[in-house]
Amino acid sequence: MSDVLLQTKDVSIRFGGLVCVSKFNLTVTRGELIGLIGPNGAGKTTVFNMLTGVYTPTSGDIRFLGEGTEGIPPCELSKRGISRTFQNIRLFKQLSVLDNIRIAAHQHTSYTLPEAVILSNRMLLQEKHILEKAFELLKIFNLGERAYEVAGCLPYGQQRRLEILRALATDPQLVLLDEPAAGMNHKETQALMETIGFIRAKFGITILLIEHDMKLVMGICERILVLDHGITICEGDPKKVQSDPKVIEAYLGTSQD
C-alpha cells in the first residue's frame, strides 16, 4: 500500500467570478497531522468542502488512495475513509447521543429493509455489534453516561467532542477537523489537544485540521499550510511558518500573541 493517502493537484474553485481557492496542492501521507491556517475568508473550509465532495472543484484533481474523487458524492467518500466535523456544529440535534454515533456506523451494516422488518438474525447481530462499538467509543470519550440524552442539550464542549466522536465512528482513514477548538476556553482547548493526540495513538488515523488557536496548531501539528485569499502562501513545520514574513503580513494585527 502506498503511503500517500490524499493528494490534490492544482485544485481551484470559483463561485461566479470570485476565485475562492486557487491552485491548492497538498500531499498527505498516512499518519500525519497537518494544520491548515489562514485569516477569515481565506478558503480553508472551502478546501474541506472540496475534499469531502460537497463542492466540486472548477479545475484540478483530488486523489484519495490513488483514485480520483470527481463526481463522487460525499456519502461515498465517507465510506472510502474521509470523515469530517463542521465549523458550526452539525449534530443530529434532536436525536440521542447514542443514535448520533449509530448513524455514523450506518455504513458498517449491510442488512436490507425487509430484514429490518422481520428482525433477521443478520440484522440483530449487526445491530448488536454497532451498539457495542458505539458504547465502546462513548466510554473512551467519557460520554457513556450521556448516551441516552438528546445531543442538542449537551454542553457546548461535549457537543464538539461528540462531533469528533461521530466522525471517528465511520472508521475513517483521514479525519478533517474544522475549527475543533472554536469557542473553547484555555482549559478545554488543552483537553482537546490531549484528545487529538490520544485519537492518533489509539486509532492510527491521519488528521487535517483547521484552527485559529495558534497555541493548539503550533503545539500539535507537524506540518502547516497557510492560506490567504485562496492562495497557499507558506508550507512547512511550525517554526518555519512562524518566521515567514508573508504569514506575518497576512496575520498582521493578530500575530502579536
Partner 1 sequence: MHTIRRTFGLPLLMLVVFGVLDWFFPKMFDLYIQTLIIYCGINMILAVSLNLVNGFTGQFSIGHAGFMAVGAYISAFLSVSFPNWAGPFINLNFFLNTVIGGLFAAVAGYCVGLPSLRLKGDYLAIVTLGFGEIIRVLLLNVDAVGGARGLYGIPKYSTLFWTLTWVFICCFTIVRLMRSTHGRAFLAVREDEIAAEAVGIPTTRYKVIAFVISAFFAGIAGSIFAHFLSYLNPSIFTFLKSFDVVVMVVLGGMGSISGSCVAAILITLLPEALRPLQEITKIDFRMILYSLTLIVLMLTKPQGLFGSLEISDLWKKYVRRSASN
Partner 2 sequence: MEEFLQHVINGVSLGSIYALIALGYTMVYGILQLINFAHSDVYMVGAFVGFYAARFLNIADSPSYTSFFTILLIAMAGCALLGFSIERFAYRPLRNAPRLNVLITAIGVSLFLEYTGQVVFGATPQLFPNILEDSIIFSFGGARVTKMDATILVTAVGLMIVLRHIIQNTLLGKAMRATSFNRHWASLMGISVDRIISMTFIIGSALAGAGAVLVGMKYPKIEPLMGVMIGLKAFVAAVLGGIGNIPGAVLGGLVIGIAEEFVVGYISSTYRDALAFSILIVILLFRPAGLLGRFSVEKV
Q: Rule CB under 8 A: is residue 182 a binding residue for partner 2?
A: no
Q: Measured from the CB of residue 20, what is the shortest distance to partner 1 in angstroms?
A: 18
Binding mask 107-126 for partner 1 (x = CB under 8 A): x-x-x-x--xxxxxx-x--x
Between CA 70 and CA 257 the distance in angstroms is: 40
Out of 31, 59, 90, 128, the only residue in the binding site for partner 1 (CB under 8 A) is 90
Q: Rule CB under 8 A: is residue 45 a binding residue for partner 2?
A: yes
DSSP 8-state symbol, 150? B
Q: Rule CB under 8 A: is residue 203 a binding residue for partner 1?
A: no
| Strand segments (E) across the chain | 4-15, 18-29, 33-37, 59-64, 67-68, 82-84, 174-178, 206-210, 223-228, 231-236
Q: Measured from the CB of residue 94, what is the shortest distance to partner 1 in angstroms?
A: 6
Q: Rule CB under 8 A: is residue 251 a binding residue for partner 2?
A: no
DSSP 8-state symbol, 66? T
Please give the torsion angle defined by the CA atoms of residues 69, 67, 178 and 169, in that order, rounded to the nearest 10 degrees: 110
DSSP 8-state symbol, 203? H
Task: For CA atoms 138, 143, 149, 152, give the dihedral sign.
Answer: negative
Count of beta carbons in the 10 Å neighbourhood of residue 216: 20
Stretch that binds partner 1, among 10-18, 26-34, 79-87, 136-144 (CB under 8 A): 79-87
Residue ranges that bind partner 1, judged by CB under 8 A: 52, 54, 73-76, 78-79, 83-84, 86, 90-95, 99, 102-107, 109, 111, 113, 116-121, 123, 126-127, 130, 166-167, 169-170
Residue ranges that bind partner 2, judged by CB under 8 A: 45, 49, 54, 86
